[in-house]
Amino acid sequence: MSVANSFDRSTIERIVRQIVLQQPLAGPARDDGASSQPDVVISISARHVHLTNEHVEILFGPGHTLTPMKPLYQDGYYAADETVMVVGPRRRMLPTVRILGPTRSASQVELAFTDSISLGIDAPVRHSGRIEGTPGCVLVGPKGVVELKQGVIRAARHVHMNVRDAARLGIQNGDNVKLRIESPSCTTVFEDVLVRADETSKLEVHLDTDEGNACFLDAATKVELLPLGTACGCATQQ
């Protein structure tokens, strides 16, 4: 019986899956009317790589720069045309992992836990950029190879927003909030969602594919971002 390799995930996984649902009033009492209730975008990031300019040139050739393929929800960010092979220990590998732009000051590989098991890399849960002491891997591009000494992480849950969204929710940069996603037979509350608030970001939660699959995000009917000190409604739901 002829069967193809079932695991070329790059052909069957989207780079980003998203749902957009309205955030119900969850912060402190307000007098500014229902119109200010923000939409919440939940984005599931498939595994991806961030690169330095130097590593782009090693992997893709001198003078090469990333080619934007698809804009991401946050302004200025994009999925690039370019992909690399990520190689772990014992010759396990992920053949085509998408690069996200723009380039950064340090290269970083973000995996879901399922991916890290596949690769045989014990990737710790870290927030982006906090890669001190994390495992490394080998990146293989069409023109060269880079050995990362560190930088393989499982990206910790977080939510981007601007400081005005944060104020409306009664929270601030660096807080942890809870995210409750209601979906058929799979309703889930994610705690430990770090708030990353600045002047310009749009309200967007980042989960990984394991988290998105666990809560059956594609079928979600309701989402709530809940500040600390707020019960998640779990005692009265169902």
By CB under 8 A, name the binding residues for its own copies.
Answer: 1-7, 9, 12-13, 85, 87-88, 90-95, 112-114, 117-120, 125, 140, 145, 156-157, 176, 178, 184-192, 209-211, 213-216, 226, 228-232, 234-238
CA atoms within 13 A on the CB side of 167: 7
In angstroms, give the least distance from the CB of 83 to its own copies.
Answer: 15
Measured from the CB atom, is 78 or 154 closer to its own copies?
Answer: 154
Closest Cα partner for 24 from 179, 196, 208?
179
Are 207 and 157 in contact by the 8 Å Cβ rule? The answer is yes
In angstroms, give the least distance from the CB of 113 to its own copies.
Answer: 4
Are 149 and 201 in contact by the 8 Å Cβ rule? The answer is no
Please give the backbone phi and psi of residue 25, each rounded to the nearest 5 degrees, phi first.
-60, 115
In angstroms, give the least distance from the CB of 228 to its own copies.
Answer: 6
Measured from the CB atom, is 101 or 141 closer to its own copies?
Answer: 141
Sort strands 39-45 and 204-208 into parallel, antiparallel or unpaired.
parallel
Distance CA 114, CA 137 (A): 16
Are 207 and 190 in contact by the 8 Å Cβ rule? The answer is yes
In angstroms, give the least distance from the CB of 66 to its own copies.
Answer: 23
Measured from the CB atom, is 7 or 77 closer to its own copies?
Answer: 7
Measured from the CB atom, is 74 or 114 closer to its own copies?
Answer: 114
In angstroms, give the least distance from the CB of 40 to its own copies.
Answer: 18
Are 217 and 184 in contact by the 8 Å Cβ rule? The answer is no
Measured from the CB atom, is 57 or 175 closer to its own copies?
Answer: 175
Are 188 and 168 in contact by the 8 Å Cβ rule? The answer is no
